[in-house]
Structures are given as structure tokens and as C-alpha cells.
Amino acid sequence: MRSASDDLTARARIRDAAIAAFARDGFDATSLRAIARDAGVSAALIVHHFGDKGALREQCDDYVVSVFIDEDHDVIRAPSSDRIRAALHDLDRYGPYIDYLARMLVDGSPAADRLFDSLLDRTRNVLGEQREAGMLEPMSDPEMTTLLVTLIGLGPVVMRGQMSRALGADQLSPAGLLRMTLPTLELLTHGIYSTTALLDGAREAIAQEGGADGSRGDAS
């Protein structure tokens, strides 16, 4: 007779196998039969625990989000703000969660929206603290800048494969993250242009269209 603990263990195995398969092959290309094979269970047991594949995906979405933003989740023992960073330093263990997160953000789901909103809020709070400390230049549109900084942070996660292919190494490895540190901070601190010609031209064009002139500072 199967015990309740056996059911919980099987459910966790199915979930973890589904996360790995969805992250690797995508939702549409992954069958319940393949997940069952990877989890060492029957497809009927997946249906018993989760229902159909769509319901299984929702459970996986919620679980991965909880890994990265739920303070009470003990898979990664770090505060919410540091959970992605902690996971990036142990890709052998957390790589499937990172890859699943990347697919979530591209494919979209209520759980993905909740995750993105949490990351956006974190960026907003950090920039707010830095603004109070006098570390930031005036911004024409602080909220858009917050969004762009968030996207810069998520870029290596979502584009992991392409970045690794272009640079010949996994950019989410410790060595890859170290390589990105100075160029990222140079970009945010100094920019890349040695002249304001493009910025001045954009401000003039926007002003002529009757939009914001891009020259006002934020309310700091």
C-alpha cells in the first residue's frame, strides 16, 4: 500500500522532472510520457497528482517563482533579493530553475508576471536608495529607467544560450558573471558615447513632436 510520504516524494519527482524538461525542450515539445520516464513514474500517476499538462505547468510556474521570491522557501537559503544571485553561483544544482525562469519570462504567465513585478520592485527600491544617497544622475523618466535596468539584469538569464554561443563560455558561470561586472558598471556609470550629439538630437526631435523634451530631471 502506498503511503502519503510516497505520494509526496513522487509528486516532487514529477515536478522536478517537469521543470527540467520544460526548461530544456519547451512546454509544447514535452509530453507527459517523457516527464513520467524522467521521473520514474507512470503517466497515469502524473494525471493523478496534477491533472493535465497545463495544470502541471501552473504548479511548476508557482514553484519556481517561490524559489526566487518567497522568503519562506528554503530551496535557496538566501534573502529574496539575493536568491537569483545565489542560484547563479551554483548552476549545477539550480540551472534548471534558471532556465525555466527564462522560458517563463518569455512565454508569459500569471506567475511570470508576479516574478517580474517583484524584480522590478526590487530594482525600484535599490535605485530609490541610491538616489537618496546622491549616487544617481537626474533622469528624464525614472520609471522607464527602472524598467531598463531590470531588463539589463535579466538579459543574461533570458539570453543565456545566445550569450554563451557568442562568447564561447556560459555567461552565468562565476567566471562569466565576473567578466560582465566591469562592462556593466562602465555602461551604467559612464555610458558608451563620448559626445552628447545623439542625446541632444533625440531631445530636439521629441520636442518637435510635442513629447517630453527628455531634459527634465527626476524629482530627487
**Residues 6 or more apart whose Cβ sits within 8 Å of residue 3:** none
* The total number of structural domains that make up the chain: 1
Instruction: Show the low-confidence residues of the chain (pLDDT under 70).
Output: 1-8, 70-90, 211-220
pLDDT value at position 71?
A: 52
Condensed to tens digits (0 to 9), the pLDDT of residues 180-190 reads 888 988 999 99
Write b or e for each residue in 129-154: b if 16 or more Cβ atoms lie within 10 A of its Cβ, otherwise e. Answer: eebeeeebeebbebeebbeebbeeeb
Residue 53, domain extent: 4-158
20 lies in a domain?
A: yes
Condensed to tens digits (0 to 9), the pLDDT of residues 115-141 reads 889 889 888 988 999 999 999 999 999
Write b or e for each residue in 89-123: b if 16 or more Cβ atoms lie within 10 A of its Cβ, otherwise e. Answer: eebeebbbbbbbbbbbbeeebebbeebbebbbebb
210 lies in a domain?
A: no
Q: What is the CATH classification number for the domain harbouring 18? A: 1.10.357.10
144 lies in a domain?
A: yes
131 lies in a domain?
A: yes
Q: Which of these, 9, 164, 32, lies nearest to 102 by C-alpha position?
A: 164
pLDDT value at position 47?
A: 92
Neighbour count for residue 87 (Cβ, 10 Å): 22
**In the chain, % of residues over pLDDT 70:** 82
216 lies in a domain?
A: no
170 lies in a domain?
A: no
49 lies in a domain?
A: yes
